[in-house]
Amino acid sequence: MHVEASYLQSWLASKSWGDWQTKTAWLWRLSKVHGSLGVLGDVGVHIIDFTSFPAGKIKSVNCKLKTFHKAENDKIGEYTLDANDSAIISVEFQNGAIGTIHTTRWATGYPNSLSLRIFGDKGAIRIDLDKAYDKLEICRGKNIDKFKWETINCGKTPNMYERFINSILTGKNDQPDFARGAEIQKILDACIKSDETKRIVEV
């Protein structure tokens, strides 16, 4: 019924990953002409994928993108700093649920944090990758009236390198595949269009 997801980074607010103002590895991510789709394309793609995998296909989006002033004339050397820094996306899923997905590079105190909460008529699930990669929490049954969350151990998930090697060994392409990538890209395109037209866009 209701979904809330976020992917928060703080490298514009801190120097934990180095000084973005002097490193090309970060500056290109802030410049459209250098190929950047901003935070939406950089990490928004991952939180949209992460959210829609358990919650279901996204039907429509209403997206607001924001680029903040970061330097004199919004330029450092050859880099024009015009790619979005923050994104807020209101979504409706094909199953009728609604939700909010947001991401930013200005989240002080959050170096690289993903979280997801899904609320349904029979309970709720929350995932916080800052806490664990192999556990989630669920509130269901008698625990609903007690506001009690139960921790579920999900076991180890293969990393992308293990999945890649396994795909080579078995000859079977593991997820995510090209079709999934194209599906998520279509959502990103709808987000860009929504921000430009200031309206809800069907995916």
Rg (the chain; Cα; Å): 19
Q: What is the pLDDT of residue 38?
A: 97
List, for residues 165-180, the tens digit of each pLDDT value.
999 999 998 888 899 9
Q: What is the pLDDT of residue 113?
A: 97
Distances (CA, A) of 67 to 31, 59, 106: 11, 26, 11
pTM for this prediction: 0.93
List, for residues 46-99, the tens digit of each pLDDT value.
999 999 999 999 999 999 999 999 999 999 999 999 999 999 999 999 999 999
Residue 190 burial (10 A CB sphere; 0-12, 13-18, 19+): buried
- Give rounded-to-5 percent helix, strand, coil for the chain: 30, 30, 35
The β-bridge relationship of strands 112-119 and 2-9 is antiparallel
Q: What is the mean pLDDT of residues 181-191?
A: 97
Fold of 2-116+177-197: Dihydrodipicolinate Reductase; domain 2 (3.30.360)
